[in-house]
Structure 1
C-alpha cells in the first residue's frame, strides 16, 4: 500500500460525501471498530453500526457542496496503519437555497484488511458552533445565512430597479434632446429620447426613424462641414465639443439649438457619439433683437454726429 493510494481513498470519500451526497460509499469504508468524532459539539460514536446510524439519520439534511483548495498529508504509522489529514474549503452549490462557505478539516486513520483499506477513525472538524446537535451539516445556520443574503440581494435589486426607473423617467422627460448615433461614416441613429423627435415635429419615434436615418439628415448644408469636423475631433473619454446651429423643423419653422457632443460607451456596451441639445430659439431671437437695436442706436448716433 502506498501513501498515494491512501490519499486517493481519502479524497474519494470526501468528494462523494460532500459533493455527491453519497453516504453509502463512506459507510462502506468503515471498519467494525471505527471511532467517529464529528464537527458538531456532541457528534461522536463508536462501532460501524452506531456511526453509520448517525450518518444515515442526517441523510435528508445533506447539502451538496463544491470542494476546493484541497491539501492532504499522509503518514505510514506502521503495522498496516496509515494516517491522512485533509484540509479544504466547502461552498454550497448554486441553487441549493443554503449558503455554506467554510473550511473543513478531516483526519482519517486507515487499517489494511483483506478487503482493502478500512477507516478505523474519522475526525471531521468544521466550525461546530453553527451545527446543531441533530445535524450533520449546519442546515439551520446556512439556511438563515442564505435568507439573509437573498434578502440583501432583493434590496439591492429593488434599489437598482428604482434607480433604473428614475433614470428612464428622467431620460424621457428631460427638456433636452438626447441622440446617440454610430461612429462609422453612416452615423446611423442608435437611440433617441422623446424630446428629440418632438422637437423636429414628428408624432412618434417610429415616424422620426422612417424619415431620419442619421442626425446629419437634419443638419443644414451651411453647417454640415462644421458638424462633421466636430465629430472627427471626438475621442473616447476625450473632451466634448459644443456648437450652435440653425435647424428647420418638419413644418418649415426655423429654430436654433445648442449642442454638446461626446464619444461614449452606452448602456448596451456600444461605442457611440452622443449629442445633447437644447432649444435656444428664443435666446437667438433676443440676441438678434438686441443686435438690431445696437445697429439702430449706432445709426442714430452717427446721424446725430
Structure 2
C-alpha cells in the first residue's frame, strides 16, 4: 500500500475539524486538488469545479459559528496505488457562545490522491440523515433545527452556574421594573441575607423599590450613575449604602442589564455584592496615604519599592525645594536585578552583602556603595533600610524601604578610624593595626608557603637626639618611615611604627631571597639619602612565615631576635632568624 495512505484517516479527521473550527476556510481549501469536486449536505452544495467550491466556501465561512466535532468513526476503503477512500460519520455541535443551538449527525466520504508525494483531496461527499437539514439551502452556514436535548443540557448548566454563584458570593440578585422607582419584580434570599433580613422584611423596609433601599444621602449620586450608564447602553454600575437590619450601613456594588421581553416590557436584572470591607480598606488606605504625605514633609530619605516579579524598582523622593503638597518625584528602573549584577548601580563587592541582608524576615540596615551618574562621579555611600514582604507561600514578592546618602558621614568616620590606626608622627600604621593586618594575612601566607616579617631599627638614634635635638630626630624618623613605606608598598606590603625608632614591615608573597632583596633595597635607600644631616644606617631582622613562626607573636619574636643579632654583629646589616 502507498505509505501516504497510512495517515489517510488522521488527515480526514484533521480536515473535518479545520472545516468546523471557524479558524479560516483557507486551511481546508489548501488541501484540494486542482480538479476538486464537492457534494454538500445542503441542496445547493453541488460543485464540479474546484474554484466554484472554494469561492462558495470562502463567501459563507464568516457566517458559520465555531463548532466542535466528536464521536468520529472513519474507515479506509478502496485503496489503490495512487488513490484511496475514507468513509466516516461524526456529530457536530455549535459553540454555546455563538447564540445558536445546534447538534447534528453528519456522514462523509473523502477521495484522496497521491499528488506528487503529498495527500490531496479530490472529491468530498457530505450528507445529513435527517430531513430537517435537507430543507436548508446550505450547511453549516445556516442553522438547522434545535436539538431539544442539547438545549435542555445548556439550560441546566446555566441554572446550576447561577445557583452556584449566588450561593458563594457575598451578594444577591434582583429584578426591577424600568419605572421611576425601579420597583422590584424579584429579590432572592441571598440579597436579603447579606443585609440581615428575610425577603419579606427587606421588601417592607424599602417599600418594594430599589430607590427605597438606597441610603438617602447616596440616592442622588446612585441615580446619576444609572442614568449616565443607560444613556450609553443597556448596562449600568453604581455603588451606594443600604441600611442593615441591625442599623449599620453596608456598601453594595449594584451592576445590572436592561432587557426587553417578548411582550414589549422591559426588566432590569442586577447583581448586588457587599463591598463594605473593600470600601473600608479604601478609606484606611486614604488615611494611610495622608499620614504618609504628612510624614514625608520632614523626611529627606529616598523611599523605594522593588517588585520582584516585575523586576522593577520605583523610587520616590521629595524634591528639596518642594512645597508640602507637591507630589513626590517618581523614578522607575526596569530590569533592576540585571543592573545590580552588572555593577553599574551597586559596587560589586557590596552586592553579596545586600542579598544576604535581604534574606532576613525582619527589617535590615546595610551600608553600601551606590552610583548616581546623573548627579555625582564615582561611588556614594548610602545607608539602606529595607523590609522584605513574602506571600502566603513564603515566597519573597516585594521589598520596601528607604535609603539615605551618608557619604560625608562615612568619609568622616573613615578618616577618624584611619587616624586611630596610624602613628601621629610618621603616619604609618601603629603597632595594634600592624598586628591585625599580619594576622589577616597569615592564613593565605601559610597556604602558599610564603611571607616575611621585618623588624627594623635606626642605628644609634639616641646619639642623633642628644647631638642635634629631638626636632631633627623627628624629621629623621619621618624620612626613614617614608622610605620604608615606599619600599614595601611598591612590593605589595605594608609598614608600621612599633616603638621610638623601631619599625615593622610585612610582605605576604615573599620568599627568603625576595625578602633579602627588599631589605637590601631599604637599607641602600636610607644610606644613600643626601637630605639627612649625617649618615644613617639601619639594622634589619627578618622572620619567614611558617619556617620561623605561624603566629604574629612568634614571628615578631623571631624578627626581634634577628634584629638584636644584627646589632651585636656590628649594626648596619640584615639578619635572618636562626
TM-score (norm 1): 0.47
TM-score (norm 2): 0.26
